[in-house]
Amino acid sequence: DAGVIQSPRHEVTEMGQEVTLRCKPISGHNSLFWYRQTMMRGLELLIYFNNNVPIDDSGMPEDRFSAKMPNASFSTLKIQPSEPRDSAVYFCASSYEQGFEQYFGPGTRLTVT
Amino acid sequence: GDSVTQMEGPVTLSEEAFLTINCTYTATGYPSLFWYVQYPGEGLQLLLKATKADDKGSNKGFEATYRKETTSFHLEKGSVQVSDSAVYFCADGGSNYKLTFGKGTLLTVNP
């Protein structure tokens, strides 16, 4: 299995630009999670999907952040407009069922200047 | 809500030393428990897990035992290697859909 695939691996953008991060979960997994990791705040859960439906987006920092999962094999996390404080590593993870172990992608390192 | 508390790092050891990283959880019931490892520049990888009380998870020389009576899941390794240098995260699956992670413990092993 290819594991969770994320793209791009690195993204550098200027403040105010739109950023789209992409994730392909492991085939057969029905739960997908977006996390953000920073030195200051550690690992934060942003949003969780189950069977392509957003279940809990309480971790999304503000309206500038949005996430979609149009089908079982693809999800996006969009930031519009981006700000320097959004700089972080963003991870996507998937799991077979709710509460089961999650498998993480390699992450996207976002730098907003 | 659920919380996971793990010992704060950083932890610095010499090669072949014994490692213990403490972890306690607050989830009620019988959550599954996990240890993840994050190597520099990579995502989190599942290291080991235990799904019920008294279970022992093990992998790559690491072990952790699910202790219901002390709500703990301490990570141990008898002889660490330089290649074990990483950040270690404890997590519980107490909530109905998500994992609750500890803050992570940075381990550095010197030759």
pLDDT of A98: 66
A vs B: CB pairs below 8 A? 51
B49 vs B63: CA distance, rounded Å: 9
A51 vs A54: CA distance, rounded Å: 8
Condensed to tens digits (0 to 9), the pLDDT of residues A33-70 reads 999 999 888 899 999 999 999 999 999 988 999 999 99
Residues B26, B27, B29: CA angle, nearest 5 degrees: 130
Condensed to tens digits (0 to 9), the pLDDT of residues A3-41 reads 999 999 999 999 999 999 999 999 999 999 999 999 888
Name the residue in chain B with its Cα closest to that of A46: B98
Residue A42 Cα, gap to closest chain B Cα (Å): 6
Q: What is the DSSP letter of A26?
A: P
Query: Which residue in A4, A98, A103 is closest to B97 by CB distance?
Result: A98
What does the block give as tokens for B7? 């010992």
Condensed to tens digits (0 to 9), the pLDDT of residues B79-94 reads 999 999 999 999 988 6
What does the block give as tokens for B24? 């306690």
Q: Kindly list the strands in the beta sheet with B56-59, ordered across the sheet, starting from the edge strand earlier in the chain.
A: B19-21, B75-77, B62-65, B56-59
| A41 reaches B (C-beta below 8 A) | no
* pLDDT band, residue A99 (cuts 50/70/90): low
Given a cut of 90, whether residue A80 has pLDDT beyond it is yes
Interface touch B42/A107, C-beta < 8 Å: yes
For B66-95, the three-class secondary structure string (H helix, E strand, C coil) is CECCCCECCEEECCCCHHHCEEEEEEECCC
Interface touch A50/B97, C-beta < 8 Å: yes
pLDDT of B82: 97
Given a cut of 90, whether residue A100 has pLDDT beyond it is no
Residues B6, B88, B85: CA angle, nearest 5 degrees: 130
Q: What is the mean pLDDT of residues A68-96?
A: 96
Residue A41: what residue type?
R
pLDDT of B96: 63
Please name the residues in contact with B22: beta carbons below 8 A apart, sequence gap of 6 or more.
B6, B7, B72, B74
Residue A111 Cα, gap to closest chain B Cα (Å): 15
The answer to whether A62 and B60 are in contact (CB under 8 A) is no
Query: Which residue in B95, B99, B104 is closest to A102 by CB distance?
Result: B99
Given a cut of 90, whether residue A88 has pLDDT beyond it is yes
Residues of chain A contacting B5 with CB distance shorter than 8 Å: none
| A58 reaches B (C-beta below 8 A) | no
Please name the residues in contact with A58: beta carbons below 8 A apart, sequence gap of 6 or more.
none
Given a cut of 80, whether residue A97 has pLDDT beyond it is no
Given a cut of 70, whether residue B103 has pLDDT beyond it is yes
Residues B39, B30, B24: CA angle, nearest 5 degrees: 50
Residues A73, A75, A81: CA angle, nearest 5 degrees: 165
Residues of chain A contacting B45 with CB distance shorter than 8 Å: 104
Given a cut of 70, whether residue B1 has pLDDT beyond it is no
Handedness of CA B3, B5, B6, B8 (dihedral sign): positive
